[in-house]
């Protein structure tokens, strides 16, 4: 099991390539608002950028808060999202301790599923897929 990390955000230029890649490749939309990873200014261009993404909680508060099972716990941390079960109540976003679940203007949730498809699109190598300490790298799973 691997998770997405942002170990070199000091290199980020705020180009949104990772967000657009996620939206296009994972969610089949062309908008950085439909992405599991969101890039935000830390307060201005001179202060850099930060990435809002799922920390792969285990257990995941968003999964525990979901009343329909649209969010389910991913083995090793994080969540699997079945949007067809979502009733757009927003409980998942309210439960997330790091504001990593984004609801679009219609209430559809977007959250990083740790697939790693965004990593190769970052021109400054800010993103990385890692095996968390204490986790078995042979139990890697990719969700979509």
The arithmetic mean of pLDDT across residues 124-144, rounded, is 71
CA distances from 136 to 69, 97, 126, 127, 132 (A): 26, 25, 24, 21, 8
pLDDT given for residue 73 in this prediction = 94
Least confident of 71-75, 87-91, 135-139: 135-139
pLDDT at 141: 45
- Tokens standing for residue 68: 């329909």
**Residue pLDDT, tens place only, 83-133:** 999 999 999 999 999 999 999 999 999 999 999 999 999 999 999 999 987
Q: Which domains does the chain have, with CATH numbers?
A: 1-53+112-129 (3.30.70), 56-98 (3.30.70.20)
pLDDT value of residue 33: 84
Distance CA 17, CA 118 (A): 8
Taking all residues of the chain, what is their mean pLDDT, rounded to a whole number? 90
Residue 115 DSSP class: -
């Amino acid at each position: 099991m691997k998770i997405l990390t942002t170990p070199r955000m000091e290199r980020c230029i705020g180009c949104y390539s990772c967000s657009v890649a996620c939206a296009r490749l994972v969610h089949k939309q062309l908008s950085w608002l439909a992405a599991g990873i969101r890039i935000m200014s830390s307060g201005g261009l001179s202060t850099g950028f930060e990435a809002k993404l799922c920390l792969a909680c285990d257990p995941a508060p968003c999964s525990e808060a979901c009343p329909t099972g649209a969010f389910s716990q991913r083995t090793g941390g994080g969540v699997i999202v079945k949007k067809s079960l979502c009733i757009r109540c927003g409980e998942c976003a309210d439960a997330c301790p790091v504001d990593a679940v984004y609801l679009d203007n219609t209430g559809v949730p977007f959250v990083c599923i740790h697939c790693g498809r965004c990593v190769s699109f970052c021109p400054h190598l800010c993103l990385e897929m890692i095996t968390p300490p204490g986790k078995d790298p042979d139990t890697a799973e990719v969700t979509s």
